[in-house]
Amino acid sequence: MNVLVMIAITTGILSGLWGWVAVSLGLIGWAGFLGCTAYFACPQGGLRGLVISTLTCMSGVFWAVVIIAGSAMRPELSILGYMLTGVVAFLMCIQAWQQWLAFVPGTFIGACATFAAQGDWRQVVLSLLIGLVFGYAMKNSGLWLAKEREKSRAQPEKTAVFTKTKGSEGS
């Protein structure tokens, strides 16, 4: 079995676990899966990828709240909300100049999750954060499993039950 199969196995198991955790804790299940998706999609892996995808998702939540709050100031002038959305979308992209905010899709994932949850950013943040950790666990446990399987295949099989040890016959 290759690495993809190992990641698929651990992702399947942990996805079921995430579903149970989300329901048990009253979290937004689909938002957690968006967190998993952000980690998997981030071009950086490991802890660095987890930090980058976390920072970008959280910045997206922030930007969505800015749009929601700004649009609510003058709801009768919907054109202002559209203009604010354009300006903020520009800022969401331009922030990628910063190394730790360079994963633009993560920013849009956080913002879209916030919009979809009708601005309930607290639930979104918690669900995304736990989902990001699950994504990290899914991918890295699969990579670990594949590595361990490869190590066990590389070791020569021992055919003898007993090995001859010099000086072990009562000396």
Mean pLDDT per block of 10 residues along the chain (171 residues) reads: 91 97 97 97 96 98 97 89 96 97 98 97 98 97 92 69 56 44
Cα torsion angle, 59, 130, 68, 111, sign: positive
Number of domains in the chain: 1
78: in domain: yes
b/e per residue 29-66 (b: at least 16 CB within 10 A): eebbbbbbbbbbebeeeeeebbebbbbbbbbbbbbbeb
**Do 64 and 110 touch, CB atoms closer than 8 A?**
yes
52: in domain: yes
Question: What is the reported pLDDT for 153?
Answer: 82
Question: What is the reported pLDDT for 157?
Answer: 60
79: in domain: yes
Question: What is the reported pLDDT for 77?
Answer: 87
38: in domain: yes
63: in domain: yes
Task: Bin 137: left if φ > 0, else alpha if -120 < ψ < 50, else beta.
Answer: alpha
82: in domain: yes
159: in domain: no
The model's pTM is 0.85
152: in domain: no
Question: What is the reported pLDDT for 168?
Answer: 52
Give residue 123's domain range: 30-147
Q: Give dist(CA 73, CA 76) in Å, integer.
A: 9
